[in-house]
Structures are given as C-alpha cells and as structure tokens.
Structure 1
Amino acid sequence: MSAPIIAVDAMGGDFGPHCIVQASLACLAAIPSLHLVLVGQSPVIEELITRHPGVDRSRLQIEHASEIIGMAERPAQALRGKPDSSMRVALELVRSGRAQACVSAGNTGALMALSRYVLKTLPGIDRPAMVTAIPTARGPCYLLDLGANVDCSAEHLYQFALMGVVAAEASGVTNPRVALLNVGTEEIKGNQQVKLAASLLQQAIGLNYIGFVEGDGLYRGEADVVVCDGFVGNILLKSSEGLAAMIAARIEAVFSQSLLSRLVGALALPLLRRLKNELGPVQHNGASFLGLQGIVVKSHGSASPEAFQTAIRRALAEVQENLPQRLHGRLEHLLL
C-alpha cells in the first residue's frame, strides 16, 4: 500500500489553524509513514509552520483555499455559496484521489452536506451516519448516529446498524451484538420508528441482533453496536462527555481539600492518570461518516491539539482498514 495521504481542513473548528497546524505537525513527527495536505489560507498556514523548526516538508503539502465556513453557518450556504472553502477543497482532494481521507473540526451540518454532494453515498445507503467507539465496561461500543441525521426512518436505522456492524468487524469484533437504543428493553417500549426498525433487524439474515438496550446497558457493554437517531445520539454523547468532565473536576476538588487528601491524591495520581487516558474525550475524539464513497472524520469543534491528533489517527486507521471498500462489499450482501 502506498503512503497514506490525509487532507486536513486547517481552518475549521473553534480554535482554527493555530490548533490544527500544531496537531498535524505533531502527527507527522509521530507517524513516519503519514503524509498530510493542510487545506486553507496558505499565508496563515505557512506562518504557523515556521514556528515549528525541523518539519519534514517532504511529507507535508499546503493546498490553498480562500474561503472559511463558519461554525454557525447554514449548510445550504456552505454548499452553494462557498465553492473555495477549506472544507470543500479537502473533500475534493479525496474525490480526485489525491488524498485517501479528510479530517475536519468544522461545522458538522456543512461537512455532512458537502460530503454527500462531493463524495456521494455508497449504493444502498440513503444517508451517511456519524459513528464513534465509546468506552464501556466490556470494551468499545460503536454508537451511531451521533448527530448527522436528526430525523430518521426505520429503514435509516436499519442501514445504520449494518454499517455499524462492518465498522466493528473492521476493528476486530467477531459477530458484533447489535442493539437499538430505547427507553426500555421490552418489545412494547419505544416509538413506532424504533419498533419498525426492530422488525427489520429481526428479519436480517446473518445479523446478531439482540433487541433493545437502555443507556445504562450501553455502558455495561451489553452490545457492540448501538443504533439511534442523531438527535438522541448527540444528546447521549454530549451528556456523557459533560458527566465525565464533572466527575474529573469533583475528584480533583476532593483531593485538594486538605493536606491529607492531597497526600492521598499524590498516591492515587498514577491510577487517575491511567483512568483519564483510558476514558478521557481526548482519546476518543473523531467520529467517522459511514456510508460515503470516501473517508471523512469529524473532530469535535472544541478539540485540543492532542484530541485533534486522535481524529487524524482515526482517519489513518480507516485508510489502513480500507473501510469504504469493506463497507461496499459487506453491504451488497446484507442489503440483498
């Protein structure tokens, strides 16, 4: 396989190129096989690169794009009104074959609209879905959709389940357990959309569908793939991130209350650091857009340089797994 090339939208996100250029250069230094194309306003990017001496420019390109899509901009405006945006140009590099993946921390709605327009969906897939692996008591669980599709039909949820299975299999999960996120585990629970999706999944041949799972069951590791619409998935993900941050802050406050608690905290520090590394959002940043004819990874808009590196690594892993082609081959069988 030739050296992987990833196009990075250098202008997106809450912190823009200052964060993204730093993260990109750190990834280049850490991964000798990686090649990056930083897409955006080239004078800004070049000036930031000069602050980091010793950069291997043989593995780094800059692709100029004059326009920036704002975080609050409407997707329709981004699609029709900004043909030279950094986000769109990065996606065009993937379509043309000059890059194998795109990573952006920019406007989620705009990235979804542009990805569908530029890269198109795989045959049999109506809408791409955002997916990420979240930590549970029994290992990672693939949760989708995370916000790309607020309103979904039962058929969309069925397609999301199939794509989630392929993503889990690509990461080494054998016969992934698939569940629908619901307000209860009983068959009578849930809205009509979820009940219809359950009927479709029950009839699917070769799919290990185990039924409904509640939010607490998700974190107990009762399923390997959990499916919901983007409205529910985004709220679940953001609530989980907020809860994790609150617990971390409370632990820190408790250990700083007195001399004794500070001493205990010092003893517990190695374990707390290990827990933070395993469960912290930095280690799990980057949601993939499954169902496209190309690899697109969405970083959290407020990601730190360390977290954005995780998103780049996620894209690199999908290139190495050849995920779109894998999806296409498996979906042809599953969608029959």
Structure 2
Amino acid sequence: MLLALDAMGGDNAPHEPCKGAILACREFSDLEIILVGNRAQIEPIIDQAADDVRRRLSVVHTEEYISMDEHPSRSIRQKRHSSLRLAMEMARSGEAQGCVSAGNTGAIVAGGVLVVGRISGIDRPALGVAMPTLNKYTFLLDVGATVRAKPINLYQFALMGNIYSKYILGVPSPEIALLSNGSEDIKGDEVIASAKEMLKVSSLNFTGYVEGDEVPFSKADVVVCDGFSGNVVLKFAEGVIQAVYSIAKEEMGRRILPKIGMVFMVPMLKSLWGRFDYEKHGGTPLLGVKGVVIKAHGRSKAPAVASAIRVARNFVLQKGVEHITNELHKEV
C-alpha cells in the first residue's frame, strides 16, 4: 500500500512526520510512503532508518509548503507546488491510495474539496474523530470542516458517521444522536430541529438529542454537530484530561501519603492517560471526499503521525470511501 505524507505539515515538521513515517513502516511491512517536501531536510532523517524500512520511503521534492497560519482556500489554490497540494493530487490521481497531513486544518479541508473533490451528492465534508468515552469510542463529527452547517449537512454527517462507525469502528448498528442544548424535543435551534426531523424518517438508528455532558458517558455511537461546536467539544475534552492529569501530579507532589500511594497508582494513571492520548489515537478522517484524506493533530510528534498513517491504512483496507459512496447514494 502506498500513502503520501505531507512531510512539511505541522508544528514539528519535517522531523516528526519523517520519524512517524519510519515508525509506521516498521509496524506494517506492506506499507510504502512518499514523503512530500524539501529533500535536503527529509533525506538526512529517513536515512537513519533500517534498510528494510528505508527502501519503502521515497521523496517527492518541493520547497513550497503551507504554514499553519495561512489563508486556507487561497493557499491551496495559489501554492500549486506545496507539499500538501502535491500529496492530495497523488491521492486524487491514484498514484497514492491516500494522504496524511498534520498541517493547516483549513487548507486540508479546502484541498479535500478543491483538489480531491467531493463525493457526488455531498454538500459539505466533515472531519470526524473517534473519542474514547466510558466503555467504547464515540465518533464525533464535524470537528472543524464545516463551521456553519445547514440541516442537510447535519443529515449527511450522520449518514457518513454511521458508515464510518459500522465499517471502520465495527459497530453493527450505530446509535446516532444530535448534539444539542438539551435532550427534550423542544430544544435546539432551527437548524438542529430541522435535521432531527430528517433523521427521524431516515433508515438510521437515530436516538434523538444528547447534551455535552452526556458525550463522555457513551450515550451514542455517533454524535453529530456543526464544525464550530464539535471543535469546541473536542478541544475542551483534550484540555480537561490534561488539566486533571497535571492537577493529580501537583497534588501528589505536595503530600507524603499521596506520594506513597502514587507507587500503586502509576500503572492506572498511565492506562487512563493512554486511553485519551491523541498520540495513540491520532488521525481524523475527512469524510465526504473522493479519496482517503487523514488529518493529524497540528502538534503531532512521531507516534501521533504514525497513528494517523495507521488510520489511513485501515481506511483504505476497509474500503471506507467506497462504502460511503455506495451507501450514501441509497439515502441521498
């Protein structure tokens, strides 16, 4: 399997994306990766890999890249030789079976639409993330691709989330819910209320509304919202977990008994942190486009990049785009 990696995307490029590519190729012997970016910066890093891994890493040279603070659609249009655009063009043409980037989120979404192209019938794409909750993963979408959503967008997000949850996460009959400001039918604004009516008459296993405090308790397999709300929920969850972890360490450092108890708690804390660590679960699929496009966290280090590559590989193997295309046409 051949994947394209934007080696210049993210806060820690190109060192961490290159290291992540090495880790991914160590894990999967069937994987080949094209690293798109500045050859002079990339090759000294990947040359450190073992021979069996190095043979499966190649470089497409370009000195142009899109920084994290550039205008999304303008940069993807004007920087035609940027590392991100070239990686996406490979995914579009079939030269690569998918692309991965930790770069500018807006540019990735714009490139998904303008370069890779939307699936026929899809109005707007969605970024989805599998959030670890009480006893399973809850797939939350959108988390940043479509900030202002219309009812049809939320309806289509639900369709795509259902397919991803079923075929990629392995949930036989996913429960679908809309994120709202209350669980009662009278809650929600006009957009959410209209989307609810569309979902009620669909073939999906729609269970109604969920509130923000219900998401961590696995109240639904798929939670649907606009990109603004989803991004706030995701970032808040990340912040809370990091804050709790920091507070626990700080409090234990102040007292003798907690220090003693820490010896017994360390394995549990590591396990808990591991469940919510984006470096282990990194990789946000851009759903609704005609190719495999995976967004890694902007701060990704090598393990998170490798995780995003793992998500891309699984999405290709499970024929995610084909399933979305085929099943959407039954509903749309």
Deviation at 1:258, TM superposition (A): 3.3
Partners of 1:333 and 1:66 in 2: CA distance: 44
CA contact (8 A) 1:25 1:55 kept: no
1:221-300 to structure 2, matched below 5 A, reads 221-300=218-297
Partners of 1:173 and 1:96 in 2: CA distance: 31
Out of 313, 325, 331, the residue aligned to residue 328 of structure 2 is 331
Is 1:73 the counterpart of 2:76 in the alignment? no
Out of 113, 117, 141, the residue aligned to residue 114 of structure 2 is 117
Q: CA offsets, 1:308-332, max 9 Å, x none?
A: 2111111111011110001111111
Deviation at 1:54, TM superposition (A): 4.0
Out of 196, 199, 217, the residue aligned to residue 198 of structure 1 is 196
Deviates more, 1:11-20 or 1:49-58: 49-58
- 1:161 corresponds to: 158
Moved over 6 A (4+): none
Q: What fraction of aligned residue pairs are identical, expressed as a percent?
A: 38
Root-mean-square deviation over aligned CA pairs: 1.2
Partners of 1:111 and 1:203 in 2: CA distance: 33
Deviation at 1:55, TM superposition (A): 5.7
Partners of 1:184 and 1:174 in 2: CA distance: 27
Deviates more, 1:315-324 or 1:45-54: 45-54
- SS of residue matched to 2:235: helix
- 2:175 corresponds to: 177
Q: CA offsets, 1:250-294, max 9 Å, x none?
A: 111122223432221011111111111122222222111001100
- SS of residue matched to 1:289: strand
What stretches of structure 1 of length at least 5 have no aligned partner? none
Partners of 1:316 and 1:252 in 2: CA distance: 36
Partners of 1:309 and 1:262 in 2: CA distance: 34
Deviation at 1:303, TM superposition (A): 1.4
- 2:24 corresponds to: 27
1:96-107 to structure 2, matched below 5 A, reads 96-107=93-104
- 1:133 corresponds to: 130
Deviation at 1:296, TM superposition (A): 0.4
Scaled by the length of structure 1, the TM-score of the pair is 0.96
The residue identity in structure 2 corresponding to 1:173 is V
CA contact (8 A) 2:10 2:298 kept: yes
Deviation at 1:47, TM superposition (A): 1.9
Partners of 2:297 and 2:206 in 1: CA distance: 30
Partners of 1:166 and 1:53 in 2: CA distance: 38
CA contact (8 A) 1:145 1:229 kept: yes
The residue identity in structure 2 corresponding to 1:219 is P
Deviates more, 1:82-91 or 1:249-258: 249-258
Partners of 2:50 and 2:33 in 1: CA distance: 17
- 1:188 corresponds to: 186
- 1:43 corresponds to: 40
- 2:80 corresponds to: 83
Partners of 2:127 and 2:201 in 1: CA distance: 24
Partners of 1:265 and 1:252 in 2: CA distance: 9
Deviation at 1:66, TM superposition (A): 2.3
Taking a change above 3 Å as real, the CA distance of residues 61 and 266 of structure 1, as seen in their structure-2 partners, is same
Q: How many residues align?
A: 331
Scaled by the length of structure 2, the TM-score of the pair is 0.97
1:49-60 to structure 2, matched below 5 A, reads 49-52=46-49, 54=51, 56-60=53-57
- SS of residue matched to 1:47: helix
